[in-house]
Amino acid sequence: MLKSLFIAASVLSLIATPPLFAQAQPNSAAKASDQIGPNRTFTGQDLFDLAFATDPQISPDGDTIAYVRRQNDIMTDRAVNSIWLIDVESGEQRPFAGRNGGAFSPRWSPDGSRVAYVSTEGGSAQLWVKWLDGGEAVKLTGLPNSPSGVTWSPDGRSIAYTMLVKDDAPSLGSAPKNRPDGAEWADALEITDLVNFRADGEGELTPGFEKIFVVPATGGAPRQLTFGKYHDGGRLSWSSDGSTIYFSANRNPDWQTDPVEGDVWALDITSLSLTRLTTRDGPDFGAQVSPDGRRIAYLGFDDEGRAYENTELYIMDADGQNQRILTADWDFSVDGFGWDSDSRGIYVQYDERGETNIARIALNGSVRAVTDGVSGSGLDRPYTGGSFSVASDDTIAFTGGTATRPPEVKVSTGDEARYLTNLSASLMTTKSLGEVRAISVASSFDGQEVQGWLTLPPGYREGARVPLILEIHGGPFAAYGPHFSTDNQLYAAAGYAVLSANPRGSTSYGEGFAQEIDKAYPSQDYDDLMSIVDRVVELGVADPDRLFVTGGSGGGVLTSWIVGKTNRFRAAATQKPVINWTTQALTADGTGYFGQYWVGSRPWENPQKFWEQSPLSLIGSVETPTLVVVGSEDYRTPVSEAVQYYSALQLAGVPTALVRVPGASHALTARPSQSAAKASAILAWFERYAKGWEPSDPDADRD
Amino acid sequence: MLRFLASMILLAGIAVGATANDEPRLFSAEDVFELEWADEPQISPDGEQAIYVRRSNDIMSDRTVSRIWIVDRDGGGHEPLLAENGSYRSPRWSPDGTRIAYMKSLSGRTGLYVHYLESGRDALLGTFEEAPSDLIWSPDGAMLAFSMAVKAESEKLVSAPKAPEGAEWAEAPRVIDRARYRTNSDGFIDLAYDHIFIMPAEGGTPRQLTSGDFNSSGSLSFTPDGEQILFSANRQDGWELQSREANIFAIDVASGELSQLTDRPGVEASPQVSPDGRFVAYLGTSNEREPFMPTNVFVMERDGSNIRNLTEGLDRRAGDLQWLSRREIAYTFQNRGENNIGVVTTSGDRRVAVQGIGGTTIGRPYVSGAFDAGEGGALVYTKGSAYRPADLFSFQSGRNRQLTTLNEDLLAHRDLGDVRSFTYNSSLDGLEIQGWMITPPGYRQGETYPLIIEIHGGPHLAYGPHFSDELQRMAAAGYVVIYDNHRGSIGYGSDFANLLKYKYSSPDDFADHMSAVDWAIDNGFADEDNLFIAGGSAGGIATAYAIGLTNRFNAAMAAKPVINWVSKVLTADSYIGQIANQFPGPPWEHLDHYWERSPISLVGNVDTPTMLITGEVDYRTPISETEQFYQALQLRGIPSVMVRIPDTNHGIAGRPSLLNAKTDYTLAWFGKYRVGQEEEE
């Protein structure tokens, strides 16, 4: 999880806990009355018509799939979640939950007769259960905070979940005693003494700790099972006899300052005693008990102080004995897994060369490919990702799509996978989307292969040279691939070719490729990106006089780095960048992470190193008009990073503008209108400087 | 034995003060709501009366409210003139003394009014979205002139698609493309330029006189014939990136024709036409790249010729220029912790008319004060003391007279800490430094007390022997409080102020503070095991820097500090001038220099428990500075808390409850680390 710390939070939270709860509204696409036929061009307006599938949960018998449909709504300007059921055999779909509020996280009862889910019907997020044989939906809880990690007990009688239990904020001093009734005094001061006092997407953190609870599946009082000043969260798993819940937590005294740590714990739900099953330095998480109850599979890696490690798959006996790695000789990172019902293998989701696949890893470590074509990280950019679940008959439900098709529900029963939904039918038929082609190049630095995908303008005529936008992914430990992207399609619709590339540091090419930028970010990733831009020019597609560059987060870092190194781009748009690693390390959420793991020390121990990796150090060389874009509530790459860059560009006399997206966190494009406006602003900026610029004051001191 | 007991009882009687009485004798948080002070004095044209803005802290709205009061020259007839709901400011007598123009803000709108003294009626001339400033009457009393921000259109990057009716879309992105794009008080600002307006004093339509993408505002002055208005502005291309440049212009009221009167390098500001119309006095400051530059009073002929510096050698920052007579100009200047009214003749003869005006800031003992000059050499001014906020005073016929007593009802019944001045020599180089010490109420000679050194902001500002709510409350909690005008402070000449050139913060100013602490220990006032350090803004920098250099303090409180100069100068509203005048160049060319001056460079040494207090919308020393230090201290395991003040800018004590809270939190934090303290009741 930590290696993804730097890409849009929505990428992570789409799968686990959709952050946006909204009232469901019937879709009402605005149509201009003077339109005489369908508009074939993909525009910002079309974002409101998009829907995609996530979190497909197949029933234990493999007959039915429950999934979450995320549909953009033009009235609330948000993505709205609802749960739908699909009959695997016939493909027939019916709505299940989400008519009166967002519904998500569907989870089948072990006997397949009920589905538990989280719904915001009636206001706050609560745990609900619905009987499939036409029964009522029942709200099980009246919780003060949103439940996560919803997990049925093997006997179907109880449901475990995790929830934040609030703690008192620290206090100091006391207010004057003479406050009259009715007086309107200023807000009281806010005081914090937590190391991590806020998180992107959440803002200032409510003091408190994530704790494990259990509630009877037919309703009743929830019971808190864990206590203490630690966060006990993540994925939960019951032992087959229902006596134990496995979870992961960092319950070490230094948990606040050790961000790359966690262990698998066993909780006896009768005595509430806790047993720590793993101890190594590094995170262990995601524990799942095998169907026969004998083993536990879990994920983790050794904390070597590096910015990136592959996430490995391990198994151990249910009592924590005989821990061993299954993926030692397999150079990919496990993103999600589920046991085969025979308890002799584990299905895993992983990325390979920009694509997301599912394989089965046997307990002896042998690997068998199961399916490819998994997709589903979100819509705005072509990140790898997706999710899956497996039934007892080995039927696999997963989210899948293509470079021109947003994620749908797909099913794989051993042979060819097939689509069960067609959420983007009208998009596919009415819009002409840009074609996406895979390309690759040998890096000018050392000849390593660098892969990329080129989105061409719709109707592209072979041989024509068009303007090119290099669009750089975040992470930097993440990957692009042949996945649907609204940003790329909007740029392509405006006549640009768009290049999505995976320079060194990207994942899915083996651990070594990602680790090439360990403590050296940015470095030769720059050469990789320039090489692949050269390749697009060589291919006769890109007009070398009309090159543009943009990227978000880690891609913003590289965009700012690039304009400090070369003047070949006509204009740039750096989105939510890190500009100064010292300030990033000391203002971003995840205190203690970026300095130690990415730069290799604390800023005050080695300021020169922090400076040398900072785009700000290159500001004196920038001559490229550069737009700076940031969410006004971004705490991953705080607004103060963007502002430093903007101010420096102003002082250096380089054309610039600062675009602040009100209310937006690091997930800059969570609201469709803002997503469209952001793409539109970037295009307008590129347009403005397409023919270059001259300093307005010829005497300006620019070197 | 018996004597010892007796003295213990006596001590208890003093320290606990009022257990037996009805009212506590110690100054407390509750008292903040009772403080009042005088500001913005205005003398009537005939010199017989004065009006002033009376400020008081309202316990219901938790705000400082401002009303206008009137008083006779002998102190009689003191009564409210304009005291309805709303906040009043900028009262201005009409030239014939029959009317008073003023501004009143109510529910977020500012209105321009004229009060008719004889009838007691008020006319609303207009309500404005952007509050007018710099209000003046035309010499014939027929017109009012003022400046006001006029919104301008930024070049649009995109046009947004239309939302369907009833849709609740997210706010559209905001595009900023100017070098000056936010201010501490207003946050991100809409593109707007200040322009000068004129309107009939009996009501009518305001007419905009100046135009262009420049700010034309600041002190305005009519020529006696009423035909022109003089003002100062930087109307050069590239003005946005210039920090010390402005020239004097005259605009013809009838034609709108603009003429430029000065073109010197540097700032020519606050033009004031002499009563006979022959001269123009102004404040001039050169544009040398020094942290501190003196400001002098200049005079020139009405056409801009024959410019003369009248205060050559003053070596202070002259301010608030006003003609006192046809050949005399009054101005303020700071000297050794006090603000004075100086008078200079057009031939350059200088004298001090009034020493020690002030009392208009109540939180900390900053040098402050306001005055107004009437015809015939009369003056009204604000003056407080170490124990009182400002009252209104007059100076007439060589005699000073106190016209109000706004705080006797409260402060006469409180035991305040004694404030005394001292001087000492810095351990760095023997430089003489002036400081002040407040001893706790009930102080007994020969006993030592916990000590708080409180450091002023700026750093080119100054403290003095002035009433301070915050420091008196610290004294009331049993601390000896010291403060000093360390090198860099103003009021001691340019050389002294510029000793900190390229050195803030540094071991140099640190030595000045530690020498003050040692003075208090060596002279038997302070308990060396109970030392505390606090400061705000530049004082917060000095505090954060000091605990990187020494572990002598039990605890520290840094309010709104700068922690990392690189990020500070690139995120603060003050970045353009600060880089130009306080640093050898931009941060990307002088990283090491910026780093050495930054408290973050020393955070690896800090062992001192530290509290940080900052407003969440502070754009002078943005809260991202505070966060850097907090996160670093947390990572190092140093006890630390961050106190965030919602919706508050750099003025973190701007509301009475917040002024209280700042002191309450500081005292609570220090209390945790105060050793050998007996349990308090």
Which of B145-154, B417-426, B440-449 has the least mean pLDDT? B145-154
CA distance B110 to B288: 38
CA-based nearest distance A192→chain B, Å: 5
* Residue count (chain A): 703
User: Which strands make up the sheet holding A158-166, listed edge to edge?
Assistant: A148-152, A158-166, A208-216, A223-224
Q: What is the pLDDT of residue B15?
A: 39
Closest-CA residue to B213 (of B236, B190, B197, B179): B236
**Residue whose entry in the numeric block shows the structure tokens 């009715």:** A182
Q: Does the pLDDT of residue A255 top 50, yes or no?
A: yes
Average pLDDT over residues A130-134: 89
Query: Mutate which of A630, A644, A645, A682 to test chain B, going by most B C-beta atoms within 10 A?
Result: A644
In whole angstroms, what separates CA B640 from the centre of its chain?
29
Beta bridge partners of B66: B55
Give every strand in the sheet of A244-249, ordered side by side.
A232-238, A244-249, A263-268, A274-276
ipTM over 0.90: no
Residue A701, Cβ density class (10 Å: 0-12 exposed, 13-18 middle, ≥19 buried)? exposed
* Chain A touched by B61 (CB under 8 Å): yes
CA-CA distance, A357 to A374, in Å (whole number)? 6
| Helices and strands, counts by H and E, chain B | 11, 39
Residues B467, B455: Cα–Cα separation, whole Å: 16
Q: A216 with A160: CB under 8 angstroms?
A: no
Please say whether the dihedral angle defined by the alpha carbons of residues B664, B665, B670 and B671, taken in this order, is positive or negative: positive
Closest-CA distance, B9 to chain A, in angstroms, reads: 28
Q: Does B659 touch chain A (CB under 8 A)?
A: no
Contacts of B154 (CB under 8 A, 6+ apart): B175, B177, B178, B191
Average pLDDT over residues A32-58: 86
Give the type of residue at B457: G
Q: Mapping DSSP to helix (H, G, I), strand (E, B) and coil, where does residue B374 land?
A: coil
Paired residues of B26 in beta bridges: B415
| Other C-beta atoms lying within 10 Å of the C-beta of residue A170 | 12
* Beta-ladder partners of B382: B392
Q: Which of B157, B571, B647 sits opposite A685 (nearest CB)?
A: B157
Q: Please state, rounded to an integer, the average pLDDT across all residues of chain B.
A: 92
> What is the per-residue pLDDT for A1?
35
Are the Cβ atoms of B642 and A603 closer than 8 angstroms? no
Q: Name the 3-class secondary structure at B351.
A: strand
Chain B residue numbers with beta carbons less than 8 Å from the beta carbon of A26 are none
What per-residue confidence (pLDDT) applies to A696?
63
Residues comprising chain B, all counted: 681
Q: What is the pLDDT of residue B20?
A: 44
Q: Please report the pLDDT score of residue A639 as a whole number.
A: 95
Residue B485: CB atoms within 10 Å: 26
**Which residue, among A72, A181, A258, A586, would best test binding to B if mutated, counting the most B CBs under 10 Å from its CB?**
A586
List all residues of chain A from 644 to 683 with a beta carbon under 8 Å from chain B.
644-648, 650-652, 656-664, 671, 673-674, 676-678, 680-681, 683
**Paired residues of A116 in beta bridges:** A107, A129
The DSSP secondary-structure symbol of B61 reads: T
Strands B480-485, B449-455: parallel, antiparallel or unpaired by DSSP? parallel
d(C-alpha A649, C-alpha A633), whole Å: 22
Which among B171, B591, B641 has CB closest to A192? B641
Per-residue pLDDT tens for B480-526?
999 999 999 999 999 999 999 999 999 999 999 999 999 999 999 99
CA neighbor of A46 nearest in space, from A678, A673, A547, A685: A673
Q: Which helix (H) or strand (E) holds A559?
A: helix A554-565
Q: What is the pLDDT of residues B427-481, one digit of tens each?
A: 999 999 999 999 999 999 999 999 999 999 999 999 999 999 999 999 999 999 9
Q: What distance in Å separates the CA atoms of residue A152 and residue A57, rounded to the nearest whole number? A: 14
Q: Stretch A445-459: mean pLDDT, rounded? A: 97
Q: What was the pLDDT predicted at B23?
A: 62
Look at residue B392 and tell me whether its pLDDT is greater than 90.
yes
pLDDT band at residue B321 under the 50/70/90 scheme: very high
Look at B173 and A677 and tell me if their CB atoms are within 8 Å: yes
Q: Which residue of A44, A640, A681 is in closest CB contact with B173?
A: A681
Of residues B364 and A219, more confidently modeled:
B364
- Indicate the pLDDT class of residue A697, thresholds 50, 70 and 90: low
Question: What is A646-693 written as a DSSP string?
Answer: HHHHHHHT--EEEEEETT--S-TTSSHHHHHHHHHHHHHHHHHTTT--
pTM value is: 0.90
The mean-pLDDT minimum among A334-343, B256-265, B571-580, B659-668 falls in B571-580
8-state DSSP, A179 = P
Percentage of residues of chain B with pLDDT beyond 70:
96
* DSSP one-letter string for A449-499: EEEEEEEPPTTPPTT--EEEEEEE-SSSS--B-S---HHHHHHHHTT-EEE
Among all chains, which residue has been given the structure tokens 């003139």? B81
* Helix B538-549 with B507-522: angle, nearest 10 deg: 80
Average pLDDT, chain A: 91
Task: Take residue A154 and report the two structure tokens written for it.
Answer: 């093997």
On whether any CB of chain A is under 8 Å from the CB of B624, the answer is yes
CB-CB under 8 Å, B566 with A616 = yes
Residue of A306, A200, A352, A312 whose CA lies nearest to A521: A306
Lowest mean pLDDT among A10-19, B2-11, B175-184, B200-209: A10-19
Q: Which helix (H) or strand (E) holds B106?
A: strand B99-106
Q: pLDDT digits over A302-321, tens only? A: 999 999 999 999 999 999 99
Tokens 């005394």 sit on residue: B420
Q: Do B589 and A620 touch (CB under 8 A)?
A: yes
Residue A19 confidence (pLDDT):
31
Closest Cα partner for A469 from A367, A553, A555?
A: A555
Task: Name B455's Cβ contacts closer than 8 Å, sequence gap at least 6.
Answer: B483, B484, B486, B513, B533, B534, B535, B538, B539, B542, B543
- Closest by Cα among B496, B507, B480 to B418: B480
Question: What gap in Å lies between CA A633 and CA B171, rounded to an integer?
Answer: 13
Confidence of residue A701 (pLDDT cuts 50, 70, 90): very low
A426 pLDDT band, cuts 50/70/90, is: confident
Q: Is the pLDDT of residue B46 over 50?
A: yes
Model confidence pLDDT, tens digit, residues A259-279 = 999 999 999 999 999 999 999
Q: Which of B109, B61, B329 is nearest to B221 (CA)?
A: B329
- The terminus-to-terminus CA distance of chain A in angstroms comes to 43
Average pLDDT over residues B31-59: 95
Give how far Cα A159 sits from Cα of A141, A227, A389, Å.
Answer: 11, 18, 19
Give the pLDDT confidence of A616-672 residue by residue, as tens digits. Answer: 999 999 999 999 999 999 999 999 999 999 999 999 999 999 999 999 999 988 999
Question: Would you state the pLDDT for residue B2?
Answer: 38
User: What part of A 590-619 touches B (C-beta under 8 Å)?
Assistant: 591-592, 602-605, 607, 611, 616-619
The answer to whether residue A31 scores a pLDDT higher than 50 is no
pLDDT at A675 over 70: yes
Instruction: Report the pLDDT value the prediction gives residue A22, as an integer from 0 to 100.
Output: 32
User: Is the pLDDT confidence value at B286 over 90?
Assistant: yes
With beta carbons under 8 A apart, name residues in chain A contacting B560: none
- Strand stretches in A253-305, DSSP E: 263-268, 274-276, 284-289, 295-300
How many helical (H) and strand (E) elements, i.e. helices and strands, does chain A have?
10, 39
